[in-house]
C-alpha cells in the first residue's frame, strides 16, 4: 500500500512516469529505425555475388513471360539478347543491365521490362539469402519446317 501523499505530488509523480514512458517509447522507435537504417546501409554496400559464388542459384518464382511481338510475315529475327539481372536478398530485381543485343529495339524493351518485374527466390550462400547477379541470354533463331510442315525452333 502506498503512503498517503499530497494530490499535487501524486500528479507530479504520474506525469514523470508518463514522460519516462513516452521517452522510452520514443527511444525504442529511434533504435528500431536506426537498426533498419543500418541493415539497409549494410545491404547497399554488400556486393552482388556471381552465380559461381553461391551454393544455390536464384531462380524465378514463376514463368517470366517474354511476349515478343509477332514478326512480319516472311521476316525472321535472328540474334542474341544478353543481360545481367541484379537480384536482392528479398528476391526483387534491383536493376537489369543490357550487355549485348542484336535484336530490334522493341524486343529489347520488352525483355528488359519483363525481367525488371520478375520475382526470384534469392540465392543462398552458407544457408543465408544473398544478393546475386544472374547472366541471362536469350537466343532468337529461325523457325525450321518439320516434315509435316509445322514450324519449330532449333535447340
- Measured in whole angstroms, how far is the alpha carbon of residue 152 from the centre of its chain? 34
Three-class SS of residue 72?
coil
Please give the model's pTM, rounded to 2 decimal places: 0.63
- Cα(106)–Cα(12) distance, integer angstroms: 71
How many C-beta atoms lie closer than 10 Å to residue 139's C-beta?
Answer: 13
Overall residue count recorded for the chain in this entry: 155
Q: What is the pLDDT of residues 45-85, one digit of tens each?
A: 678 999 999 999 999 999 988 877 676 776 667 788 999 99
- Measured in whole angstroms, how far is the alpha carbon of residue 147 from the centre of its chain? 44
CB of 80 closer than 8 Å to CB of 100? yes
Strand partners, 123: 130
Query: For cell 519516462, what's the residue?
Result: 20
- Cα(143)–Cα(129) distance, integer angstroms: 40
Indicate if the pLDDT at residue 34 is higher than 80: no
Smallest CA-to-CA distance from 81 within 140, 126, 122, 131 is with: 140
Mean pLDDT over each residue of the chain, to the nearest integer: 78
Superfamily of domain 49-153: TonB (3.30.2420.10)
Three-class SS of residue 111?
helix
Q: What is the pLDDT of residues 94-112, one digit of tens each?
A: 999 999 998 888 888 889 9
Amino acid at each position: 500500500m502506498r503512503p498517503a501523499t499530497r494530490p499535487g505530488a501524486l500528479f507530479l509523480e504520474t506525469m514523470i512516469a508518463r514522460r519516462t514512458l513516452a521517452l522510452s517509447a520514443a527511444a525504442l522507435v529511434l533504435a528500431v529505425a536506426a537498426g533498419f537504417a543500418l541493415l539497409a546501409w549494410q545491404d547497399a554496400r554488400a556486393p552482388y555475388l556471381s552465380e559461381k559464388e553461391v551454393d544455390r542459384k536464384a531462380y524465378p518464382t514463376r514463368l517470366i513471360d517474354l511476349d515478343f511481338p509477332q514478326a512480319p510475315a516472311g521476316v525472321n529475327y535472328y540474334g542474341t539478347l544478353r543481360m545481367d539481372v541484379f537480384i536482392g536478398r528479398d528476391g526483387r530485381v534491383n536493376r537489369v543491365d543490357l550487355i549485348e543485343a542484336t535484336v530490334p529495339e522493341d524486343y529489347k524493351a520488352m525483355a528488359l521490362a519483363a525481367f525488371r518485374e520478375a520475382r526470384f527466390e534469392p540465392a543462398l550462400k552458407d544457408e543465408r539469402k544473398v544478393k546475386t547477379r544472374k547472366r541471362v541470354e536469350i537466343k532468337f533463331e529461325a523457325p525450321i519446317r518439320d516434315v509435316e510442315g509445322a514450324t519449330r525452333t532449333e535447340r
